[in-house]
Amino acid sequence: MTFDAIIVGARVAGAATALLLARQGLRVLLLERSAIGSDTLSSHQLQPAGAAVLERWGLLGELVAAGTPATTHLRLHHGRHVVDAELPRAMFSPRRTLLDAMLVRAAAEAGAEVREHVTVEELVWSEGRVRGVAGRARRGGGFSADAPLVVGADGKHSIVARAVRAGVYRERPSRAFAAYTYVGGLPVGAGEMYQRDGAAAAVFPTNDGLTMVYVSAPLDGFVAYRADPDGTFLGLLDGFGELGERVRSARRAERLRATPDQPNRFRVPYGPGWALVGDAGVVMDSITAQGMTNALRNAELLSLAVASGDFAAHHRERDRGLSRMYDLTLHLARHRPGVAERLFFPLLARRFWRSDRRVGGRRRHRGALAA
Ligand SMILES: Cc1cc2nc3c(=O)[nH]c(=O)nc-3n(C[C@H](O)[C@H](O)[C@H](O)COP(=O)(O)OP(=O)(O)OC[C@H]3O[C@@H](n4cnc5c(N)ncnc54)[C@H](O)[C@@H]3O)c2cc1C
């Protein structure tokens, strides 16, 4: 089988890249080792910039029609301070089963050939260039395909990145673990975000009338979490006013999921016959909820590079777009808000100030976040 591009991994990064390359008229093969649209270990806030990308591609309407609630307000809690912020455009929290499946369907409609249950085990090389992939299909045994471009969209432990020995830079070890679950009967009018010494939390509405509750805490607390997942999760939420109590009195709709596997690194994203996109290229702690938005934007940059042949521009623009958020993410994942933050938050509160009233003994600020 010969294609113009083979993409390994069919979630946000891979399916989006397949969609855009197929829309350019390329013959694209999209390979995924698991079932298309299966769930994955990830909460799923899509930032306004990510929603804007989906809208440009004509896909946001489908997410909304599938019952994904729009979040247009954020309530940020930091110590005594609460900021109510209006977002310039909505963010969404679509379940990955919905978002990933929708992107794969769009890629197939654009002409990409999609194969699930195919595990890529190695790259095929010729004269110093990657020329294709080889692996196993769940049905049919051995599998191979050729293309002048193989894209690794295979996540943070990318086999493509390892096989091409992609250079790694700005790497930092995991700093925090994350845990999340879904509850019913906890309606929220705004996305809620909480930060204090030693933990952060987020509460966002998602599909099927459920609310996603996420917590992040320093990595050394993962031992305690393993010994008592529920107790540790709720205990961390108890550190945020009434949040623990609200979650306790809601209906637990799904099991608790957690991971300490949150590396932080950049990889060189291209070389002869290969490219990397999404987490395979840049991965960072989930505390700032950027990965899906990054993956979508990165897919756009890569598809432009494929059209123009200027992969260096893709590399440059990707890093320029992510650099500051990467630094902020590393800082927040330490869970030690410093003096700067203690000063910054009240400033933020004041900057977006519209009304200023005490609610439950707390100073509450209201305003609109700049675009
Ligand atoms: C706890 C947690 C919470 C998160 N919360 C958020 C959030 O709220 N918002 C946000 O934007 N991001 C969040 N993220 C980050 C987000 O999950 C990732 O950034 C995003 O999934 C990256 O997408 P991707 O397509 O690059 O890779 P992945 O989603 O990892 O997909 C890679 C795919 O490649 C497939 N694959 C791997 N190897 C092979 C192979 N050899 N052959 C064939 N297929 C293969 C895998 O099966 C997988 O389906 C979170 C992450 C974690 C861990």
Is there a single domain that holds both residue 272 and residue 203? no
Which domain-ending residue is among 191, 225, 259?
259
Ligand 1 atom with minimal separation from the 290 CA? 11
Residues 47, 123: one domain?
yes
The set of residues, in sequence order, having a beta carbon less than 8 Å from that of 297 and lying 6+ positions away, is 49, 50, 53, 321
16/112 same-domain check: yes
Q: Is residue 293 part of a domain?
A: yes
- For residue 79, being part of any structural domain is answered with no
Stretch 146-159: mean pLDDT:
98
Segment 74-98, tens digit of pLDDT: 998 887 788 888 888 999 999 999 9
The H or E element spanning position 71 is: strand 70-78
Range with lowest mean pLDDT among 36-40, 62-66, 73-77, 281-285? 73-77
Residue nearest to atom 15 of ligand 1 (CA): 291
- pLDDT at residue 339 in the model: 67
Task: Convert the pLDDT of each residue in 274-288 to its tens digit.
Answer: 999 999 999 999 999
Among residues 259, 282, 304, the one where a domain terminates is 259
- Contact indicator for 42, 96 with CB cutoff of 8 Å: yes
Provide the number of structural domains found in the chain.
2
The answer to whether position 85 is within a domain reads no
Residue 229 sits in a domain of what CATH number?
3.30.9.40
User: Which position has the higher pLDDT, 79 or 350?
Assistant: 79
Residue 110's CATH number:
3.50.50.60
pLDDT > 50? residue 180 = yes
Residue 154 in contact with ligand 1 by CB distance below 6 A: yes
Query: Which residue's alpha carbon is at the smallest distance from atom 51 of ligand 1?
Result: 42
Centre a 10 Å sphere on the Cβ of residue 69 and count the other Cβ atoms it contains: 18
State pLDDT tens for residues 190-236: 999 999 999 999 999 999 999 999 999 999 999 999 999 999 999 99
Domain match, 145 and 47 both: yes
Q: Indicate if ligand 1 lies below 6 Å from the C-beta of 216.
A: no
- Domain end marker among 236, 259, 282: 259
pLDDT tens sequence across 47-61? 999 999 999 999 999
Ligand 1 contact, 282 CB (< 6 A): no
Rounded Cα distance, 283 and 156, in Å:
6
Whole-structure pTM value = 0.94
Instruction: Find the domain containing 37 and state its range.
Output: 5-64+90-172+263-359
Cβ(36) to ligand 1 under 6 A? no
- Co-location of 164 and 182 in the same domain: no
Q: Ligand 1 pocket, 153 CB below 6 A?
A: yes
Q: Is 72 inside any structural domain?
A: no
| Helices and strands of the chain, counted as H and E runs | 11, 22
- Per cent of the chain over pLDDT 90 is 85
Task: Name all contacts of 85-89 with Cβ < 8 Å and 24+ positions apart.
Answer: 85/352, 85/367, 85/368, 85/369, 86/367, 86/368, 86/369, 87/48, 87/368, 87/369, 88/48, 88/368, 88/369, 88/370, 88/371, 89/48, 89/51, 89/52, 89/371
Structural domain includes residue 78? no
From the CB of 32, is ligand 1 less than 6 Å away?
yes
